[in-house]
Amino acid sequence: MLDAAFFRRWLAAAAAAVDREADRLTELDSPIGDADHGSNLRRGFTAVVATLESTLENTLEKEPPDTPGAVLSLAGRQLISTVGGASGPLYGTLLRRTGRALGDAPRVARGDLADALRAGADAVAQLGGAAPGDKTMLDALVPAVDALPSSFAAAAEAAVQGALATVPLQARKGRASYLGERSIGHQDPGAASSALLFETLAETAETERAERAERTEAAEGAEGTEGVAGRGGHE
Amino acid sequence: MSDRKPLVGIVLVSHSGPVADSVAALAGGLAGGLAGGLAGGLAGGLAGGLAGGATAPVSAAGGTRDGGLGTSSELITAAARRVDRGAGVALLVDLGSAVLTVKALIADGGELPDGARLVDAPFVEGAVAAVVTASAGADIAAVEKAAQEAYGYRKV
């Protein structure tokens, strides 16, 4: 089960990945966009992390978001207000709608998150008037959401493959669509950043799994030597 | 109590601060100064009763907060609050993130005044039609219709 701390951790990992990959995202945005995707998303995710951290430090002024839904909604709101480009309302809507779909549950299962992200992806599609195949973030998002019920790793892989599969597509939405056939041969920057989101989701889940396993081992180790034999049982 | 009902407010959202400011000045100027002439022609008969009346509140929300090209949801919500007189607020947008940001703000609710709506119209011509129509005391539905109809004014 995934709690609010897991989602904070995911968003921090996503922010770090966006920061690391900002130049690549902007490079992808140069031939078919206005060369600001990396810097815009970096500004947005930096603000998301700062806001989430400030809610932890500043508990007297406002309650820190203590459910997955509240964490995602706050992050989405922050993206809408700080990104300054089209990716702000698009990613902001994705996170807010996903957060809203998760409701007030203090902990959610991977399947709940898949359902909620589908609602978020539907809202993105509606907002932009786009569908899979239009060479947008949906080309990474939708396959990832489809694969998420299987595993986090499958979702990350589907997102990466979906982003790569935008290369031969002709853009039908956004600024790139003005280029017509000249948009063919370039990876969509929004699909590339969506893949980062799912890669960091899988990394966060793997980190938590490893930590849990370590804690279990430590607890078993404290109980005696029986735990040592049990270690081989972990996949 | 005033015998004037509140006027619809107009917000102009562009990627560029100077574009939004200039279109606001243009629309306000035409609505205030040329109501019976050029602007009246654009907005049809609705501007007829305008002479001597107040100009509808217009606010520009262009560019990012640091003056760059882009869209700021804070500038948009602040502009909408500035022009909200209780009769609704019509938001006109240029393209890309301006469209998406206003749509996202409206879809999620709570940040724009009640009765705020995104009006599907050409930015400059729609702004003039909307401001002239709103200045004539029309309700938000009529303001929206006048702005939308600006798509139909062919130039050749």
CATH number at residue B137: 3.40.50.510
Cβ of A123 within 8 Å of Cβ of B107? The answer is yes
The yes or no reply on domain A2-219 and CATH 1.25.40.340 is: yes
Alpha helix positions (H), chain B: 17-33, 38-43, 73-83, 97-108, 123-135, 140-149
> How many domains is chain B built from?
1
**H or E element at residue B13:** strand B9-14
Which residues in chain A touch residue B98, judged by CB atoms under 8 angstroms apart?
A: none
pLDDT at B53: 66
pLDDT at A107: 97
Amino acid at A29: D
Give the residue on B whose Cα is nearest the Cα of A73: B108
pLDDT at B47: 40
**B62 has pLDDT over 90:** yes
- Residue among B64, B68, B100 whose CB faces A128 most closely: B100
Q: Please report whether residue B3 resides in a domain.
A: no
pLDDT at A49: 96
Arithmetic mean of pLDDT, B142-150: 97
| B25 or B48, which is more confident | B25
Nearest-angstrom CA–CA distance, B4 and B138: 11
**A72 has pLDDT over 90:** yes
Which residues in chain A touch residue B61, judged by CB atoms under 8 angstroms apart?
A: none
Phi, psi (deg, nearest 5) at residue B137: 90, 10
Cβ of A80 within 8 Å of Cβ of B103? The answer is no
Arithmetic mean of pLDDT, B39-65: 66
Nearest-angstrom CA–CA distance, B10 and B83: 7
Nearest-angstrom CA–CA distance, A187 and B2: 59
| A63 or B107, which is more confident | B107
The ipTM, to two decimals, is: 0.81
Partners of residue B105 on adjacent β-strands: none
Cβ of A175 within 8 Å of Cβ of B74? The answer is no
**H or E element at residue A46:** helix A37-57
Nearest-angstrom CA–CA distance, A51 and A8: 11
pLDDT at A8: 97
Least confident of A176-180, A209-213, B44-48, B97-101: B44-48
**H or E element at residue B62:** strand B58-62
Arithmetic mean of pLDDT, A17-43: 93
Give the residue on A whose Cα is nearest the Cα of B73: A81
Q: Which one of A37, A81, A178 would you mutate to disrupt binding with B, by most B Cβ within 10 Å of its Cβ?
A: A81
Tokens linked to A62: 């406002």
- Give the closest residue to B115 by CA, choosing from B2, B11, B4: B11
Size of the A and B interface in Cβ pairs below 8 Å: 48
pLDDT in tens, A176-231: 888 989 999 999 999 999 999 999 999 999 999 999 999 999 988 887 655 454 44
Q: How many residues does chain B have?
A: 156
Q: Please report whether residue B85 resides in a domain.
A: yes
Nearest-angstrom CA–CA distance, B156 and B149: 16
pLDDT at A174: 83
Q: Where are chain A's structural domains?
A: 2-219
Cβ of B71 within 8 Å of Cβ of A85? The answer is yes
Q: Please report whether residue B4 resides in a domain.
A: no
Q: Please report whether residue B19 resides in a domain.
A: yes
Closest-CA distance of chain B to residue A220, Å: 48
Helical axes A4-32 vs A68-82, angle rounded to 10° = 30
**A63 has pLDDT over 80:** no
Question: Three-class SS of residue B71?
Answer: strand
Residues of chain A above pLDDT 90, percent: 76
Q: What is the DSSP letter of A65?
A: P
Q: Please report whether residue B120 resides in a domain.
A: yes
- Give the closest residue to B47 by CA, choosing from B138, B112, B113, B152: B138
- Give the closest residue to B120 by CA, choosing from B84, B93, B154: B93
Phi, psi (deg, nearest 5) at residue B59: -135, 140
pLDDT at A222: 80
Q: Please report whether residue B126 resides in a domain.
A: yes
The residue segments making up the domain with residue B54 are: 9-152
- Give the closest residue to B23 by CA, choosing from B63, B68, B70: B63
Nearest-angstrom CA–CA distance, A19 and A38: 8
Which residues in chain B touch residue A90, judged by CB atoms under 8 angstroms apart?
A: 100
Taking any CB pair shorter than 8 Å as contact, residues of chain B touching chain A are 64, 68, 70-74, 96-97, 100-101, 103-105, 107-108
Which residues in chain B touch residue A190, judged by CB atoms under 8 angstroms apart?
A: none
Cβ of A123 within 8 Å of Cβ of B64? The answer is no
pLDDT in tens, A157-187: 999 999 999 999 999 988 888 898 999 999 9
